[in-house]
Every structure is written in C-alpha cells, then in structure tokens.
Copies of this chain bind each other. A is one copy, B any other.
Amino acid sequence: MSLPLGFSDHPAGLLRVGPGFTLAGHSTNASPGFSGKKADGAAALAARAPVLSQLQEQLFAESRFGGKKSILLVLQAMDTAGKGGIVGHVVGSVDPQGIKLTAFKAPTAEEKAHDFLWRIRPAVPGPGMFGVFDRSHYEDVLIHRVHGWADEAELDRRYAAINGFEAELAAAGTTVVKVMLNLGRDEQLDRLSARLKDPTKYWKYSPTDLDERAFWPDYMDAYQKVFERTSTPNAPWYVVPADKKWYARLAVQEILIETLGSLNLQWPAGDFDVAHERARLKDA
C-alpha cells in the first residue's frame, strides 16, 4: 500500500497498540509519521476525505447485495480531547445515510439494571454501516475502575466479556477499530479555560469535567490496563496523540482508510440482467 499524503510511514502501524505498550511513554503532542504542519494536515484531511467517502459507499453498496461487512469506530478519551471533532470532521465527511452513531452517556436506571453490554448491543452497526461509539462499553472498565464502582474480580469479568463480545462482532463481519485520543493534562486545562472564556462555548462545559480531571493519573492507569487486557488482533487499540487536533483527525482518517482498504471492497455487480433492463428503459 502506498504512503498517504504527507506521511513518511502509515499512522495505523505507528499508532497501533502492540505487546509491551506503555501509555506513559507516548507524547500527546507529537505527530508520528507526518512531517507537515497544521496547514498541511488540514489540506491532507480534505484531500483524503473523498477516499474515505468512496470506501464507505462501497461498504454500504455491498450490503445492498448481501454483503455482511461493517465497521465500528470506538472513541474513548478524557474530556475535551476531541471526540466531537473526529465525529464532525472525519466521520462527517462520509454520507450520513451510512453512519450509525451512538453517544453513550451515564446509564439510565433501566440500563443499570442490566449487565453492561445490554445497552451496547443494539448500537452495533448492521451490514454495510459505519458505526461510531462516542464513549462505549469501555466506560465500565474506566470510570468504574477509577471510582471503585467495580472490584478487581468484576473488572476481570468485564475485560473477558468485552473480548468475547468483540470476537463475536468480528466473526459476524464487523471490523472494530478502537481509538484512544491521548490528550495532555496541560492541554486539557487550556481547553477547559477556553470554554469558560467564550459564551458560545459555555454549553460544552460541565463542572463535573473538573471533578474527573482530579483523577487524571488513575484514568491513565485504567487506560493502560484496558490496552493490556483488550488489545486483540480482532479489535486493536490505536493511541492517537491529541494535543494537535489537526493531527488526531488526520491520523484517525488514515486508520479508517487503511482498515476499510483492507476489506477488499468491490462494487456489486447487481442482481439483474443489465442488457434486459437497458432494453426495458427504451420503452419506459
């Protein structure tokens, strides 16, 4: 596969979590594989959007003729890391008809009464769809670990349940791509401050963001354990430096392009006789 525009190496390979990965060793401000600056990144994002868009259209088209493949992008991150920007600027460049987006908030009383995967399953993309989870079942091993809402035995059960669930998705044709946007603690402070300086951004601020910020090291430990326990060949994690929004968007776009590109998608031949239909059209 040729190198994407402006990259000296494929970001998917550079950012994929492998054996021995340690989150602490990774810069949040770097732009691995990309030598350009912000303007170059924005230009590359725009230039590559049609590539992602066509791959999504092929995925969708295949499903109209029996194709079972789908893709699921799982986004996890600390507050302000830019999940919304990925949704708006990367996912937003493909046809909305092919997107199934679910934002998982704090669970409702009904959701809490069920096991943690209960509310996740109905959000899984059907054939041909590009699913996106803005937060996910990983909250149940992140915030739950940080605040002690689940003990070690229960967390062990959940890691195993997640791996089983994701293996099941893979077997059914859903390619799972898990992205952690790796934001710096100082950069988060700047972004929260910016929200409090601009009245058009107040609505994005919540006092609880600051409460959770106090648990930063615990969250990083919880993410590290997630990577150790749930990075599988079926459903790899990618840790994407997120201090530079433009880089994070570009990297996620390329990870999606590489993943969809590996599915060997084809335009469907159609299930009708083309010559016959052309003849019918003449009289229509």
- The yes or no answer to A248 lying at the interface (CB within 8 A) is no
A contact patch SS: helix
- The yes or no answer to A36 lying at the interface (CB within 8 A) is no
Residues of B within 8 A of A64 (CB): 203
- The yes or no answer to A50 lying at the interface (CB within 8 A) is no
- Other-chain contact of A96, B87, B193, B267, B268 (Cβ < 8 Å): B87
* B92, A196: Cβ atoms closer than 8 Å: no
Residues of B within 8 A of A87 (CB): 95-97
Residues of B within 8 A of A203 (CB): 61, 64-65, 267-268, 270
Residues of B within 8 A of A192 (CB): 281, 284
* A103, B96: Cβ atoms closer than 8 Å: no
Give the distance in Å from the alpha carbon of A259 to the alpha carbon of B41 in the complex.
36
- The yes or no answer to A277 lying at the interface (CB within 8 A) is yes
* B202, A274: Cβ atoms closer than 8 Å: yes
Interface size classification for chain A: 35 or more
Interface stretch, picked from A107-115, A164-172, A206-214, is A206-214
Query: Which chain A residues numbered 222 to 269 have a C-beta less than 8 Å away from chain B?
Result: 267-269
Q: Given that A97-B134, A267-B203, A268-B203 are contacting pairs, would A284 and B210 also be in contact in the complex, using a CB cutoff of 8 Å?
A: yes
* B272, A207: Cβ atoms closer than 8 Å: yes
A99 nearest CB across to chain B (Å): 6
Contact digits for A192-221, partner B, Cβ 8 Å, 1 yes 0 no: 110010011011111100100110000000
A197 nearest CB across to chain B (Å): 8
* A84, B92: Cβ atoms closer than 8 Å: no
Residues of B within 8 A of A268 (CB): 202-203
A92-B92, A193-B278, A207-B272 are known; give 7 further A-B pairs, CB within 8 A: A88-B97, A92-B95, A96-B101, A202-B268, A202-B270, A205-B272, A213-B284
What 9 A-B pairs have minimum CB-CB distances, sorted nearest first? A202-B270, A61-B203, A203-B268, A88-B95, A200-B267, A207-B272, A92-B96, A196-B278, A64-B203
Instruction: Report 22 cross-chain contacts, Cβ distance below 8 Å, ordered by A residue.
Output: A61-B203, A64-B203, A87-B95, A87-B97, A88-B97, A92-B96, A97-B103, A99-B101, A189-B281, A193-B281, A196-B274, A196-B277, A199-B269, A200-B267, A202-B274, A203-B268, A205-B270, A205-B277, A207-B272, A210-B277, A210-B281, A214-B284
